[in-house]
Structure 1
Amino acid sequence: MTADGSTTHRRGRSSGLIVSGWTEFAAVMMICGGLLTIAEGISALAQDNLLVLSRNYAFRFDLTGWGWIHVALGIVVLVTGLALISGSARARPVGVALAGLSLLANFLWLPWYPAWAIIAIVIDVLIIWALCTRTEGVDRSVPRE
Structure 2
Amino acid sequence: MRTPQATGTAPNRADRPLLAGGLLVGTGLADVLAAYGMLRSGPFMVLSRGGLYPVDVTVWAWLHLAVGAAVGLAGLAAVTGRRGAATVAIGCAALALAVDLLMLPYAPIRVVLVAAVDAAAIRLLLRHRRATGRAG
TM-score between the two structures when normalised by the length of structure 1 = 0.70
User: Could you tell me which of 28, 37, 40 is aligned with 1:46?
Assistant: 40
**Do the aligned partners of residues 52 and 111 (structure 1) sit closer, same or farther apart at CA in structure 2, a change above 3 Å counting?**
farther
Task: State percent identity of aligned pairs.
Answer: 24
Partner of 2:89 in structure 1? Answer: 95
Partner of 2:74 in structure 1? Answer: 80
Gaps of 5+ in 2: 1-12, 49-54
Structure 1 residue identity aligned to 2:25: I
Q: Distance in 2 between matches of 1:54 and 1:68?
A: 25
Partner of 1:11 in structure 2? Answer: none
Secondary structure of 2:41's partner? coil
Q: Distance in 1 between matches of 2:26 and 2:118?
A: 10
User: Could you tell me which of 112, 121, 129 is aligned with 1:127?
Assistant: 121
Query: Which has more strand, going by share of residues?
Result: 2
Higher relative contact order (CA 8 A, sep 6+): 1
Q: CA RMSD in A?
A: 2.5
Mapped pair 1:105 → 2:99: yes
Structure 2 residue identity aligned to 1:97: G
Q: Distance in 2 between matches of 1:102 and 1:114?
A: 15
User: CA offset at residue 52 of structure 1?
Assistant: 7.0
User: CA offset at residue 103 of structure 1?
Assistant: 0.7
User: CA offset at residue 87 of structure 1?
Assistant: 2.3
Preserved CA contact (<8 Å) 1:20 1:137: no
User: CA offset at residue 70 of structure 1?
Assistant: 0.5
Q: What do the CA deviations read for 1:42-90 (whole angstroms, capped 9, x no partner)? A: 11111269x77586xxxxx840001000011111111111111122222
**Do the aligned partners of residues 89 and 62 (structure 1) sit closer, same or farther apart at CA in structure 2, a change above 3 Å counting?**
farther
Gaps of 5+ in 1: 1-18, 56-60, 140-145
Q: How many residues align?
A: 115
Q: Distance in 2 between matches of 1:26 and 1:126?
A: 8
Q: Distance in 1 between matches of 2:124 and 2:71?
A: 15
User: CA offset at residue 91 of structure 1?
Assistant: 1.2
Preserved CA contact (<8 Å) 1:53 1:112: no
